[in-house]
Chains A and B, each alone.
Chain A
Amino acid sequence: MRIKPFFFTVMPLTILLFQGCGDPFSNDLLREDARFLSAAPDAQVLQVKLPEQGTIAMNKTRQPLVLSDDGGRTGDDQFNDCAGSASNGGRALWYCFTDNFTHDVNQGVLGFLDLVDKVLEYPPSARANNRRIWGPWPGEEKDATDFRFEMERCEPGTEQAEDWCKEPPNGCKLGNDRVFYAYALEVRSKQKRNLSSDQGWVKAMQGLSVPFEGTRYGCGNLDFDVDRVASEDPTEKGKGSLLVQYDTRPPQADQSIGEYVKIDIVFNQFLPGDADEGTEPVDAQYNYLLENDRSGQFAYETRADLDENNPLRSAKEKLEIVTRWNTFGAGRGDVRISKGDLKDMVAYSHECWNQDFGRVYYEDTFGFQPKEGDEALCEFESWTF
């Protein structure tokens, strides 16, 4: 065997044969990808989670709520079901309402985050210093747009590709490294595939985040603009926009301390794509707080024509609902209705439930349901309104 030709021909050829099959063999690359992933919004973390019947909330693991299919029933139908159930020993009215409503938020409003999750199941298609791009991704065949998810790590004193790194997310405390992430879910009509890969993209959702210690939890905000989606996808039926502010912390591994979730959502003329025909866009505020002892609070405020069946009373009333629950699920709901056709009048509803979500007290000022139980049995004595 002639050694020299072997080294200079066979060995390099053999190396070439094995090269190029995969990504570089790098932990740094993997860890850097993981840092970006941890900063992306996570539909699982941002889901609203209420105590479930028959369990002690403190011992529950983090699972999405399992709710029955509503079978295409309207919000009124569901509300009436809740009202009928509560007066017959079923789940309390305002707990039931909160459950149904948060379910809608999880499935419909924050559902777009599932798309982000799906995109992030795949490795980035482009990597650059402080930047990752996933996609373009064609979605499903019926989708009229391609999707792309783009992230950038914003570091003080570092030249950034876009101006979205100028300000950190409001209400979030930065870590010692002062780093936060900017991201965007972008859409582009499939008709525009003839454009270059960087052209024609519209930011349907964009946000800023500060991940919590490398987990999918953290603090941030995101803005989801359905109108922008509609500009690329004529089949989009939704309207308006959402502004989501969140702050989440993971639970302890042994579940001795539960997760902390605070979500505030502002609906601006928002109408989900799957809304019933004739449904009006909504301006609303939604606040959800889950403390790490599993107690929590839900608040919802909107302007709506509550008596929409009566054309003579078409003014929009102000509806405020606040429900609270303790570690074991027992809780209280307070409702205030004002303005609109009520003018200077104010209507209230108060309800308490035990840890099995059965009503222990109910009273309202507008004769919707008769008074039940004793307020002394309430876990929360004070009224919100």
Chain B
Amino acid sequence: MTISRLAMALMILVVMAEPVLAQEDSNTKVVRFALVAGNNRGGDDMVELKYAERDATKVASVLRRLGRVRRSNMRVLLNGDPDDFINSLKRLETRIERIKNRKPNVETMLLVYYSGHSKNGSLMMNGSPLPLRKIKSFFASSKADVRIGILDSCRAGEITRLKGGQIAPSFLNVENDLNASGQVLITSSAGDEDSQESDELGGSFFTHYFVSGLRGAADRSGDGAVTLVEAYNYTYNNTVLKTSGTRGGTQHPEYKFDLKGRGNLVLTRVNAERSRLRFAAPVSGDYLVYNLKKGVVVAEVIKQEGEVRDIALAPGNYVIKKRRSHDVLLGKVTVSKNEIKEINDEQLKSTSYEDDYTKGAVMVKINGLKVELGTGMGLQGFFESPIRDDLFLTIPILFLNVDLHNFITKNLSLALDVSLGGRDGSVRVTEDTDVPIEYGEMGLGVGVNYTLGWDWFRIYIGGRLALVYIWRKFKGMEFRNWTPQDFTTVSPGLIAGMQAVFNRHWKLKLEGRVHYLYYNVDGDKSLGYGEGLFAFGYVF
């Protein structure tokens, strides 16, 4: 931490110590609004983030549970566009104006949180920029009494990663002239720094400590209310501390503050949640609280002996981890409804680093889940002759597919498809007699694909299991009344394909499939067939 940044942190403490913002006493009604946005994908030339959308979800959750932001007054925007962002802001502003018009004495607070890429003075959302001046302009014209902007905009690495592909000026540097009344702007890093994500924390350093602070870890006063100043200080100190040894370099959050006499602004109240973990006065150190079922780090408490910290949590099972120099202490606790569970080191068990079962527990399991709907056509044919001539005919097929990208892990997709095909043909039954038939096939497929490549072109390979239903009806004079024949089997196969990605939504695919089919009616036969497909895909 540099001297100048320490001075900056001290300055904010001095300013906030004054009653610049109205204390929320019982006579003052404050209605809170929030727009929480997260974008893993910045653009084609940017590394896709792992945790930005998840961070947004965490912030939204804590604001709702502890920050008294009603669900109706909150917009959560994941993987949205700039237009979505601005439209969401406008909708919230409409609600704010409506309240101000109806109840002039009511104070309103608008909190805007964004996690994702930024570049050249713009937030980058799905390849589209949202100039920060637009947000500035919006803040300037907003009727909300207090506007808080929190921008966690950065990159990634080995265990930590840089958010975004390029170093970009931070928001605050762009907004140096910000002096509107009742505004707070906080960024996760300085203008010449990258912000970082951590696989161990399952999120960005900044948001992790910000959320932990809001849950109570930042409540230095111990009054059960986490103010903006407390949250910022906790976030600043721990972000700087924990990023000092990372490849991305030390990350320094920054702020721009102008609240003009409105006193300490309370962001969350820990006692809004009656279920809590209490880290009692005697314990000290760095404690991580995991919800392993959800695969998230709920909070991190860094405390000194003599302080008491309450962390507000939903009832449930948690794992507490305390890092020590030679080992970790681990313990499982259950927090019941309305229970305040006290934590001390005696409850935790010494465990070697190798046996730390929380390692990897918060790695992203659903990273950038994208649903793709596709349709196309192709040709199916069996390799063996004469099988393909008079038993399983070569046919055109139409199909629909739903791909769940990144469903299993990043780049590993679950693919579901249904196909239908058929044509008229004939079966030779005697040396000079062909029986006309109507031949059809329906397939239901499920597969797993691994995709690699670039944003504009990708190849993928995978396995597919198909439920195949084949039938044929007889036509012509002699066999026209014959009972149709059918055959059902499960057919495993391999697929490979390539995609040309036109834009965020549309892509063109060429796919080849090779399948094995076991046929056991006219003797036991191991058959193979291939499918060549051409498809369009739309990603939601």
Cβ contacts under 8 Å, B487 to chain A: 24-25
Candidates A14, A26, A35, A253; contact of B522 at CB < 8 Å: A26
A1 is an interface residue with CB less than 8 A from chain B: yes
A213 pairs with B480, CB closer than 8 A: no
A18 pairs with B522, CB closer than 8 A: no
B516 is an interface residue with CB less than 8 A from chain A: no
A19 pairs with B488, CB closer than 8 A: yes
Name, among A25, A26, A122, A253, the residue most crowded by chain B CB atoms within 10 Å (CB to CB).
Answer: A25
A26 pairs with B490, CB closer than 8 A: no
Cβ contacts under 8 Å, A157 to chain B: none
A23 pairs with B432, CB closer than 8 A: no
B483 pairs with A35, CB closer than 8 A: no
Cβ contacts under 8 Å, B390 to chain A: 27
Closest beta carbon of chain A to B435's beta carbon, Å: 7
B420 is an interface residue with CB less than 8 A from chain A: no
A30 pairs with B486, CB closer than 8 A: no
Q: Spot the interface stretch: B107-115, B167-175, B454-462, B466-474.
A: B466-474
Looking across the interface, which residue of chain A has its beta carbon closest to that of B414?
Answer: A1
Q: Spot the interface stretch: B145-153, B205-213, B345-353, B423-431.
A: B423-431
B429 pairs with A34, CB closer than 8 A: yes
A193 is an interface residue with CB less than 8 A from chain B: no
Cβ contacts under 8 Å, A123 to chain B: 479, 481-483
B485 pairs with A214, CB closer than 8 A: no
Given A1-B414, A27-B390, A30-B479, are A22 and B484 neighbors across the interface (CB < 8 Å)? Answer: yes
Given A25-B485, A27-B391, are A37 and B478 neighbors across the interface (CB < 8 Å)? Answer: yes
Docked pose: A123 CA to B391 CA in angstroms: 19
Docked pose: A11 CA to B465 CA in angstroms: 10
A215 is an interface residue with CB less than 8 A from chain B: yes
A28 pairs with B522, CB closer than 8 A: yes
Residues of chain B in range 207-228 having any CB-CB distance to chain A below 8 Å: none
A23 pairs with B483, CB closer than 8 A: yes
B521 is an interface residue with CB less than 8 A from chain A: yes
Candidates A18, A23, A29, A215; contact of B430 at CB < 8 Å: A215
Closest beta carbon of chain B to A253's beta carbon, Å: 8
Docked pose: A213 CA to B430 CA in angstroms: 8
Docked pose: A14 CA to B444 CA in angstroms: 10
Given A14-B444, A25-B470, A26-B522, are A35 and B486 neighbors across the interface (CB < 8 Å)? Answer: no
B433 is an interface residue with CB less than 8 A from chain A: yes
Candidates B431, B444, B480, B521; contact of A25 at CB < 8 Å: B521
Cβ contacts under 8 Å, B432 to chain A: 213-215, 253
Given A213-B431, A214-B430, are A15 and B484 neighbors across the interface (CB < 8 Å)? Answer: no
Binary contact readout B56-77 vs A (1 if CB under 8 angstroms, 0 otherwise): 0000000000000000000000
Docked pose: A37 CA to B446 CA in angstroms: 43
A121 is an interface residue with CB less than 8 A from chain B: yes
A214 pairs with B433, CB closer than 8 A: yes
Docked pose: A310 CA to B480 CA in angstroms: 56
A18 pairs with B481, CB closer than 8 A: no
Cβ contacts under 8 Å, A6 to chain B: 446
Closest beta carbon of chain B to A379's beta carbon, Å: 34
A18 pairs with B431, CB closer than 8 A: no
B486 pairs with A11, CB closer than 8 A: no
Binary contact readout A8-24 vs B (1 if CB under 8 angstroms, 0 otherwise): 00010011001101111
B414 pairs with A122, CB closer than 8 A: no
A102 is an interface residue with CB less than 8 A from chain B: no
Cβ contacts under 8 Å, A29 to chain B: 485, 521-522
A38 is an interface residue with CB less than 8 A from chain B: yes
Candidates A15, A25, A122; contact of B481 at CB < 8 Å: A122
A31 is an interface residue with CB less than 8 A from chain B: yes
Cβ contacts under 8 Å, B478 to chain A: 34, 37, 121
B435 pairs with A30, CB closer than 8 A: yes
Looking across the interface, which residue of chain B has its beta carbon closest to that of A38?
Answer: B430
Docked pose: A30 CA to B485 CA in angstroms: 10
Looking across the interface, which residue of chain B has its beta carbon closest to that of A250?
Answer: B432
Residues of chain B in range 469-526 having any CB-CB distance to chain A below 8 Å: 469-472, 478-490, 521-523
Docked pose: A22 CA to B391 CA in angstroms: 16
Closest beta carbon of chain B to A131's beta carbon, Å: 18
Closest beta carbon of chain B to A35's beta carbon, Å: 7
B486 pairs with A18, CB closer than 8 A: yes
Cβ contacts under 8 Å, A34 to chain B: 429-430, 433, 435, 478
A26 pairs with B429, CB closer than 8 A: no
A24 pairs with B430, CB closer than 8 A: no
A22 pairs with B485, CB closer than 8 A: yes
Docked pose: A30 CA to B430 CA in angstroms: 10
Cβ contacts under 8 Å, A14 to chain B: 444, 467
Given A1-B414, A18-B469, A34-B429, are A25 and B482 neighbors across the interface (CB < 8 Å)? Answer: no
B484 pairs with A23, CB closer than 8 A: yes
Cβ contacts under 8 Å, A18 to chain B: 467, 469, 486, 488
Name, among A6, A19, A27, A38, the residue most crowded by chain B CB atoms within 10 Å (CB to CB).
Answer: A27
Docked pose: A18 CA to B471 CA in angstroms: 10
Looking across the interface, which residue of chain A has its beta carbon closest to that of B392?
Answer: A25
Name, among A15, A19, A30, A214, the residue most crowded by chain B CB atoms within 10 Å (CB to CB).
Answer: A30
A31 pairs with B486, CB closer than 8 A: no
Candidates B414, B433, B486, B490; contact of A21 at CB < 8 Å: B486
Docked pose: A1 CA to B390 CA in angstroms: 39
Docked pose: A29 CA to B484 CA in angstroms: 12
Binary contact readout A304-344 vs B (1 if CB under 8 angstroms, 0 otherwise): 00000000000000000000000000000000000000000
Cβ contacts under 8 Å, B427 to chain A: 27, 30
Given A15-B490, A215-B432, are A25 and B467 neighbors across the interface (CB < 8 Å)? Answer: no
Looking across the interface, which residue of chain B has its beta carbon closest to that of A37?
Answer: B478
Residues of chain B in range 403-435 having any CB-CB distance to chain A below 8 Å: 414, 427, 429-433, 435
Cβ contacts under 8 Å, A22 to chain B: 471, 483-486
Cβ contacts under 8 Å, B435 to chain A: 30, 34
Closest beta carbon of chain A to B150's beta carbon, Å: 36
Closest beta carbon of chain B to A46's beta carbon, Å: 17
Docked pose: A30 CA to B488 CA in angstroms: 18
A26 pairs with B485, CB closer than 8 A: yes
Docked pose: A26 CA to B480 CA in angstroms: 16
Given A24-B521, A25-B470, are A121 and B414 neighbors across the interface (CB < 8 Å)? Answer: no
Cβ contacts under 8 Å, B472 to chain A: 25
Docked pose: A30 CA to B521 CA in angstroms: 12
Looking across the interface, which residue of chain A has its beta carbon closest to that of B478?
Answer: A37
Docked pose: A371 CA to B472 CA in angstroms: 66
Closest beta carbon of chain A to B391's beta carbon, Å: 6
Closest beta carbon of chain B to A139's beta carbon, Å: 16
Looking across the interface, which residue of chain A has its beta carbon closest to that of B448?
Answer: A3
Docked pose: A25 CA to B525 CA in angstroms: 13
Closest beta carbon of chain B to A83's beta carbon, Å: 41
Docked pose: A18 CA to B444 CA in angstroms: 12
Closest beta carbon of chain B to A212's beta carbon, Å: 11
Cβ contacts under 8 Å, A21 to chain B: 471, 484, 486
Looking across the interface, which residue of chain A has its beta carbon closest to that of B519?
Answer: A25
List 12 other contacts, CB 8 Å, given A22-B471, A122-B481, A253-B432: A15-B467, A21-B471, A21-B484, A22-B485, A24-B485, A29-B485, A30-B429, A31-B429, A34-B430, A34-B433, A123-B483, A213-B432
Q: Give me 24 A-to-B residue pairs in the complex whose CB atoms sit less than 8 angstroms apart, sorted by A's number.
A: A11-B467, A15-B467, A15-B490, A18-B486, A19-B488, A21-B471, A22-B484, A23-B483, A24-B521, A25-B472, A27-B427, A27-B429, A29-B485, A30-B427, A30-B435, A30-B482, A30-B485, A37-B478, A121-B478, A123-B481, A213-B430, A214-B431, A215-B433, A253-B432
Q: Which 8 A-B pairs have the closest CB atoms?
A: A214-B430, A25-B487, A34-B429, A22-B484, A22-B486, A18-B488, A28-B522, A123-B482
